[in-house]
Every structure is written in C-alpha cells, then in structure tokens.
C-alpha cells in the first residue's frame, strides 16, 4: 500500500494524502488583488490530486510585496478578489486550501523575475523597503529602513489582520513564510539581522520577532485549523543561519503548538552556494523531524512518484510539497496514484479519463454512460 496516499490529520484538518501544492508566486496580481489568472491557476491545480493547495505568498501590506504584481491580503478589495476563486474551488474540488502569509522585507520593490528581478528605485515606481537592519540584500541596492518599535507593531498587526481575513474567507490552514530571505528569515539570519536590541544578536533574540508573529497569528486563527511555518534550513553561507539554529527555532515553535514545518533553504544572500539535485533539501526535513518529532514537509526538486513515496515511507518527512513539478504536470497526483496504486478525488466530469488499467484510480469502477 502506498504511504503517500494515506491520510494525515493536522489539528481538525484531515488530508486524504501526503501531497501538497507548494505556494508559488505568480507575480500577476493588480494592486495586490487576485484576478482571472489566479482563478485559472488555482482552479487548475486544485484538481491535481494533491490533498492541499497552498496559495502563493500573500503579503500583509503593500510595501511587503516582492514585486508590484505580488498577491496581497490587506484590505477589503484584496479580500473580496479571492471570494469567487475560492467559491469555484469549493464547488469543484475536495482539496484543502492553505495560504502562505508573507512580508518581503528588504527583498521587496523588485521587478518580476521575467523582467530581470532587480530592485526598483522609488523614483521608478518602487518603494522604500524595511528590514531588521539597514543592510541591503546585495551591493548597489537602496538600503532598507531598519524597523523601529512602531514598524514592528504595524507589521505584526498586519499579519493578524491578514490571518483574520483568511479565516473569514474560509481558508483551511495558514503557513507563515520565514524562508527564502524574506522578512522573518531576515530576522533569523545573522547575515541580515545586525540589531543590538531585544530582536538581534543572540539566537534567542533573533527568533523573538518571528515567534511573536506566530503567536499573534495563532491566537486569531480558528483553534481547529492548523498553522505551519516555512523555514530555510540553511543560508548556504558560512556564518549564516544553519540547520542547528533551525532545529532550535522548530523546537520553540513546537512549544507553541505549530502544526508543521515546511523545510526549504537559501534566499537571504546572493553569496549562497547551493549544490542542486533531486530532493536536495530532504535531509533538512528529516533532521528537523528527527530532532523535534514535528510533522514536516519536504520540498525541492521532488518530481517523481517513487521519489515522493520513498521520502514519506522512509519517515524522512510526513508530506511532500511540489511546485515546478505541478506546473509541468497539473495532474501529478493522478499520475502518482496510478503508478503507486493510490486513489485521488476527481470531478465526475473527468472520471472517464482514467486508463482502462486504472479503474480504481478515482474509486469508481463503472460510469453507466449511454
């Protein structure tokens, strides 16, 4: 029996399998609001066979966006834009819908990746970014403003407000983005955090603000719905954030009843040196799981069904989250189920698509068509 296609329960949310569609920035919003591109994108991947789809990094204030095209959830307009999309998903799919709440910090005010991804100067339509310290992401960029007490409170309140809006939208789970060099990761990493107050210096101090944000979001999101955290397990730079610190952070989150740790890596420094390969980040997820006992998600170049099965069956992670693999094959979950002998939920309009050799794929053996 395929372990990948066994259920897992996260608080009151029961997932039918261990496959997650990873949050993937689309850089296609208009003033933070979702539009017809998001309608197509989300509805398509909600039929992938994954038990949970996570909406892309959804920013909690306008200056927290990576690019001018990034998704947001900071006012009534951005909230209302998601309603028809989620209504359609609920009508046609059984997948759970999560949302990744994020703030880009010093990596904000950037061009879209296909436009070069470089920082946009305020005079050219960009904005002044903020960060733990006035240290730019890379040489030549406009330095961010170091957050003062009021700024820290404003962003914390923005996360709380976004979580409340997500709850009102009926979102099933929240993931806080503390990875890839964005604001919460910037607080964690000594490469970005040069503060000398209670939020900088020691590991305890560098963890303080991300932990405060987690507590604030957890306190306003429904108690029966899970909240997880995505982390970068290492900066891939000597003297930066590393796996040992990640484990300490995960242990602190465990004390606060976090529901999963989504284990990625990198993003805080252009000096990073990463050796890419299939499943290259899986050992990080395994280490966090072993040290903490927390449910973990493995991410990063997971593309094959047998590869995903081995990760979960061997206990290296509890779930696998796919990004590029899902974009390339929007029915990845169906094909993995066919290969591994699992079942997936699919709309009845598609039941007759299953190959004659896979009559159990959708849990239906006959269709009764004329």
Q: Are 288 and 250 in contact (CB under 8 A)?
A: yes
- Judging by beta carbons within 10 Å of its beta carbon (0-12, 13-18, 19+), is residue 270 exposed, middle or buried? exposed
Task: Give the H/E segment covering residue 146.
Answer: strand 145-146
Residue 157 corresponds to which tokens in the numbers above?
């309140």
Three-class DSSP category at 349: helix
- The whole-angstrom separation of Cα 95 and Cα 15 is 8
Q: Locate tokens 């990746």: which residue?
A: 113
Contact 2, 341 (CB under 8 A): yes
Two tokens, residue 369 = 């068509």
**Do residues 284 and 324 touch, judged by C-beta distance below 8 A?**
no
Greatest pairwise CA separation for the chain in angstroms:
74
Contact 39, 84 (CB under 8 A): yes
- Close Cβ partners of 24 (under 8 Å, ≥ 6 residues apart): 56, 323, 326, 327
Secondary structure tally for the chain: helices H, strands E: 10, 12
**Helices 305-313 & 332-340, crossing angle to 10 degrees?**
70
Query: Which neighbouring-strand residues pair with 119?
Result: 110
Total residue count of the chain as it appears in this document: 370
Q: Is 209 a catalytic residue?
A: no
CA 64 to chain centre: 16
Residue 250 · residue 261 · CB < 8 Å:
yes
The span from the CA of 185 to the CA of 103, in Å, is 10
Catalytic residue among 182, 199, 209, 328: 182
Phi and psi at 218, nearest 5°, equal -60, -35
Residues taking part in catalysis: 182
């Amino acid at each position: 029996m395929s372990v990948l296609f066994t259920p897992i329960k996260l608080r009151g949310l029961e997932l039918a399998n261990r496959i997650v569609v990873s949050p993937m920035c689309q850089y296609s919003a208009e003033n933070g609001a979702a539009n017809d591109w998001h309608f197509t994108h989300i509805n398509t991947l909600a039929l992938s066979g994954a038990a949970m789809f996570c909406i892309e990094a959804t920013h909690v204030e306008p200056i927290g966006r990576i690019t001018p095209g990034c998704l947001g959830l900071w006012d009534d307009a951005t909230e209302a834009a998601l309603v028809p999309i989620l209504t359609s998903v609920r009508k046609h799919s059984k997948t759970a819908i999560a949302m990744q709440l994020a703030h880009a910090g010093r990596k904000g005010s950037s061009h879209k990746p296909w436009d070069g991804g470089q920082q946009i100067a305020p005079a050219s339509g960009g904005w002044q970014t903020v960060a733990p310290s006035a240290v730019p992401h890379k040489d030549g960029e406009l330095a961010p403003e170091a957050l003062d007490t009021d700024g820290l409170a404003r962003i914390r309140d923005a996360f709380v407000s976004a979580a409340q809006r997500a709850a009102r939208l009926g979102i099933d789970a929240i993931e806080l983005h503390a990875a890839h060099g964005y604001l919460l990761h910037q607080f964690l990493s000594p490469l970005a955090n040069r503060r000398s107050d209670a939020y900088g210096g020691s590991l305890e101090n560098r963890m303080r603000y991300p932990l405060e944000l987690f507590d604030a979001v957890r306190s306003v999101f429904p108690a029966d719905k899970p909240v997880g955290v995505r982390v970068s397990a290492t900066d891939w730079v000597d003297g930066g954030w590393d796996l040992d610190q990640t484990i300490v952070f995960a242990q602190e989150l465990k004390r606060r009843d976090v529901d999963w740790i989504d284990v990625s890596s990198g993003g805080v420094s252009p000096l990073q040196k990463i050796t890419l390969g299939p499943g290259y980040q899986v050992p990080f997820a395994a280490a966090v799981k072993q040290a903490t006992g927390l449910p973990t998600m493995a991410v990063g170049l997971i593309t094959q069904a047998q590869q995903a099965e081995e990760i979960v069956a061997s206990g290296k992670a509890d779930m696998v989250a796919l990004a590029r693999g899902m974009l390339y094959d929007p029915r990845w979950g169906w094909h993995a189920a066919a290969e591994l002998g699992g079942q997936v939920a699919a709309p009845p309009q598609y039941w007759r698509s299953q190959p004659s050799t896979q009559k159990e794929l959708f849990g239906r053996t006959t269709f009764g068509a004329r």
